[in-house]
Each structure stands twice: as C-alpha cells, then as structure tokens.
A and B are shown apart, each in its own frame.
Chain A
Amino acid sequence: MKCYRLFIPYSRWRDAHPIVHSQKYHRRRRVCRLISKTLSKMALSSVLQSESADFSFNNDRSFSFGCRFGQTDLGFGAAPGDRLNFAIKASLGPDDKDGPERKIEFLHGTTTLAFKFQHGVIVAVDSRATAGAYIASQTVKKVIEINPYLLGTMAGGAADCSFWERLLARQCRVYELRNKERISVAAASKLLANMVYQYKGMGLSMGTMVCGWDKRGPGLYYVDSEGNRVCGDLFAVGSGSMYAYGVVDSGLRQDLSVEEACELGRRAIYQATYRDAYSGGQVNLYHVHSEGWTRVSQEDVLKLHHQYQEPKK
C-alpha cells in the first residue's frame, strides 16, 4: 500500500486520504475475508500448525495485492529456516477475525542480558531461533552493532528489531554529522522509542536494550514496541530471562573486574540455555567501554556445560 512505501503509519495516510481509504479499505476487507474463508476450508490451519513446508500450495495462489497485515508473518507454508523469528506463531483458526485485524502474539523465545558495572556495560546473548518446537537456527546474531560505540540487542521479531535498529543507526549518524559530536545513549534510545511508538498497536514486536558509553558514562536503556523506555543497571529480556536474572543478581557487584563481569554474563546465559528450551546455541559476549564496544567471545553452550560441570565430578 502506498502508506508503506512512504514509511508513514497507516493511520496518518488514512486521515489524509479519506475517500480513497474508504473504498480501498473496504474492498480489501472483502477480499481478505474471502481468502481466509477459502484457506481455512483448505485446512491451512493444520498446515501452519505442523509448520511443514508446502511450496506447491503457496505458488498456486498469487496474492497480487499483498494483503499483508497479519498473514505474511505467519508464512504460508514457507520453510521454517527462512523465517528467523524468536517466536511461536499464532495459529489461524476458522473463527478468527479478518487478516488485517488480527493481532500477532509473539513470544520472546530468547535470552538477552545486559548490565552496567564500573568498567562499562556487558552484553550477553544466546543465539537460538525457534519456530514452534523446531529449532530454526543455532547461530543467530542477536546483537546489532548500531555504530562503533552503541549496541542494540534483539528480542521479539527479528525483522522488526534489525530494521528499526538500522534506521536508528542512520539517525545517529546524521545527528553526529549535524552536531559534530556523538549522540548520547539517552538520545539514541529516545529516538528509537519515539519511532516505534508511532506504530504502537499495529503489531510491531521488539524488545531491545540500547547499550553504549557517552560523556555521562556507561548507558543502558530498555526500549520495546509497547512504548516502554527505561534506564537501568541490569536488564534481561526473553523467555530465559528469569534464569539469567537469578545468576546475575547473586553475582553482580559494582567493583567487578572486566574478566569477572564477562564470566558472570557468560554463566548467566549458560544457565538460561540449560533450563529454557527456547534459548541455546552460543553465548555471544560484548563489552562496551569508553573507547567503544569489543566483541569478547563466542562460545558454544555445550562446551560451557562441560567446563562448568567438570569440577563437580
């Protein structure tokens, strides 16, 4: 639709084009209703629930007008490996509402963690992507490098996170050029929060932590698509966050050294992957200090398991 091409919210386009909107909108609704009826008649719901690829079905229907509001994300029979979601997809039922109206419920199947200490910020994430009970990938990069001194973590919809954080990177660079100084972490997280707030209620799913170092020292903000923006010293996001909180809360002191803090972050993610089915893969560890961020390590969870369990024997 034209509003998507212009990168403006549907509501703003709709208010600016009352007559066109009304005709197009109702036509679209009629067609989508028709499609959902046909699809559910063809037992698509069972196809989606089993998440098995069925390309032939997809090719038969040509959705030329791209009724995209809820249905593309559910991926009609696309191979699960294509869609890197940290989410369980909502299933289509025959009594559901029309496509454009449907709200997508994402579950944040991941563990991401960030905490401040005296030498900066430690960011630790896992790397598993799941589609239902199927592990789509064990090697997902859930830390987005916004610029050499700002990091963003990914939880929720992968496309939403990476798209908005890349847009944020562009805004930060323009700020730097205009004002001849680096943007502060508070301002960067505010820009991101304001950008996604315009799309509140339209189905974005993003829970990210913006981490960096600016002239006020280490900065850590949690921003999500509901419009929350919170400053804090410690955040863990995702289905494994409770396990990670347990480990970090018991081990966090302000006077940790860099190695101790890295080990704490690593241990927290490992414990989360041990107990949470939707987290696993590798632990990616980053350290943000006054010069910028450094990639500390990437370790496989199985290796960590042997490392931690060995001394017990």
Chain B
Amino acid sequence: MAARYDRAITVFSPDGHLFQVEYAQEAVKKGSTAVGIRGKDIVVLGVEKKSVAKLQEERTVRKICALDDHVCMAFAGLTADARIVINRARVECQSHRLTVEDPVTVEYITRHIATLKQRYTQSNGRRPFGISALIVGFDSDGTPRLYQTDPSGTYHAWKANAIGRSAKTVREFLEKNYTEESIATDNEAIKLAIKALLEVVQSGGKNIELAVIRRNQSLKLLESKEIETLVTEIEKEKEEEAEKKKQKKST
C-alpha cells in the first residue's frame, strides 16, 4: 500500500557487528587527514587540503567550520554528510543560548552531535553519517577541550588526535611527540600540528589548512603565508637537528 519504511538498514550481524557502521568508518578512512591538538591556552585544528582544480574557487572548499564563537570542528569523510551535521550543531548552539542563556560547553555540543549520529544508526530507512569529527573549543570557565566523534555515535576527549587517511601514522607521531614542552607555548602547539600533518601530506605547506582558537577569541584561520613561514622554520629546525646528529656521530 503506502510506502512504509523498510526494515532497518543497520542491523546486527550474527557475530554482533553493525556492518553499516563499520563501512561508514571505512568511508572516513578514505577522507583527507585532520589533526587536532589541545594546548594550554590554544586549541589547533589542521587539515590536509586536497589540491584544488584550476578553475575552482579555493575559499569555497573549507573543512574547518565554526559552530559558535568558541567552538569549531573539522571532519573527515563525506563532505555532504558533514554539512548536515554542522548545520544541526550550529542550530543547537543557538537554541542552547536561547533556552539556557549560556553558551554551549564543548562536551554538550559533542554529546548532541554524537546522539544525532547514533540516532541514524538505529532508525529505519536511514544510513549512518559517514564522518568523524574533531570538535575543539574553550568552555566558559576557560578550559580547552578536544573531542572526537565517529559514525557509531561514540565520543571521547583527547589531548591530541588525528582522523582520516593515515590517521594511525599521525597518531603514533603525536604519541611520541606530544609532551608538556611541545605544547608549552601557542607557537609550539601550532608547529606540532604542522609537523604531524607533514608526516602524511605530500608537497608540504601548500596543502595544509590550519585554524586556531585562543581563549576568549573566536576562530582564526591561518593564512598560507603564515603557514609557509612556519613550515620553513620547522625545516630549518630539522636540518639543525640532523647536523647535530652528524656531528655527534663524527666525533
């Protein structure tokens, strides 16, 4: 008779897997890399920018989006799905401001996004969202936060994380290099993010997009010139390190 929704797309397999959710996670692994780092007074998001076609306007291809003045997110996976999630999150940030007369905490908006994603793994006729998100920001009491969500609807807090293509390599790099001194100053935290991305991005600084939020300030996208300067700094430091090692070996 009338078109009713079929049985759910996301059903359990005999050995307890939700295959649709796992396939969605595979889709995420095909997306371009994004990395997030939580410093002391700054939170940094970096994404690998896919090379833009000649005739394409560069500024319409944005993978880092502000959800509110004090929260922003980067994603890896299906861009169209991400657009929907970001829209809903932006509306929720404002609704929260209206009903509670306070800005959202990063945990609250992450929980909202994760609940939204979970709902799509448990209703009929719909497929899960194919994105993982890194949500960063400052709470009203000044604490920096970084959360990651995935297509299954779970979320966790992280000190530093990476999603997308070669996320594993980047995460291993971060595990080795994320120390108290590496995030001591804002600049150091930004450089750490760039270093992490350079591990997996070909052709250097041109393909990196970086954004930072400082306490009590809104999202700031770094210009390509600034990124270039930082990249050259990093390369210089690398050379110096290599020189020192050579000298040690020779002596």
List the interface of chain A (C-beta within 8 A of B). Answer: 179, 183-184, 186-187, 190-191, 194
Contact = CB atoms under 8 A, between A and B. Distances in A.
A194 B105 CA distance: 22
B140 to A, nearest CB: 9
Contacts of A186: 100-102
Contacts of B99: 187, 190-191, 194
B108 A184 contact: no
A265 to B, nearest CB: 27
A190 B101 CA distance: 9
Contacts of A190: 99-101
A285 B46 CA distance: 58
A183 B108 CA distance: 14
Contact of B101 (A179, A187, A194): A187
15 contacts: A179-B105, A179-B108, A183-B100, A184-B100, A184-B101, A184-B102, A186-B101, A186-B102, A187-B99, A187-B100, A187-B102, A190-B100, A190-B101, A191-B99, A194-B99
Nearest to A191: B99
A116 to B, nearest CB: 17
Interface string B99-115: 11110010010000000
Contacts, number: 18
A199 B99 CA distance: 18
Contacts of B102: 184, 186-187
Contacts of A179: 105, 108
Given A186-B102, A190-B100, 16 more contacts: A179-B105, A179-B108, A183-B100, A184-B100, A184-B101, A184-B102, A186-B100, A186-B101, A187-B99, A187-B100, A187-B101, A187-B102, A190-B99, A190-B101, A191-B99, A194-B99
Contacts of A184: 100-102
Interface of B: 99-102, 105, 108
Nearest to B101: A186
A131 B100 CA distance: 38
Nearest to A231: B101
Contacts of B100: 183-184, 186-187, 190
Nearest to B99: A190
Contacts of A194: 99
Contacts of B101: 184, 186-187, 190
Nearest to A181: B105
B100 to A, nearest CB: 4
A212 B21 CA distance: 45
Nearest to A194: B99
A229 B108 CA distance: 26
Contacts of B105: 179
B217 to A, nearest CB: 22
A241 B78 CA distance: 61
Contacts of A187: 99-102
Nearest to A189: B101
A80 to B, nearest CB: 40
B157 to A, nearest CB: 13
Contacts of A183: 100
A190 B96 CA distance: 11
B43 to A, nearest CB: 21
A72 B101 CA distance: 38
A184 B99 CA distance: 11
Contacts of B108: 179
A194 B108 CA distance: 21
A190 B100 CA distance: 7
A191 B98 CA distance: 10
A278 B105 CA distance: 47
A160 B198 CA distance: 64
A300 B100 CA distance: 39
B68 to A, nearest CB: 17
Nearest to A178: B111
A191 B100 CA distance: 8
A175 B105 CA distance: 14
Nearest to A190: B99
A194 B98 CA distance: 11
A190 B99 CA distance: 6
Nearest to A175: B100
B116 to A, nearest CB: 15
Sorted from nearest, which 10 A-B pairs have the closest CB atoms? A187-B100, A186-B101, A190-B99, A187-B101, A190-B101, A179-B108, A184-B102, A187-B99, A194-B99, A190-B100
A310 B240 CA distance: 92
Nearest to A185: B101
A147 B3 CA distance: 48
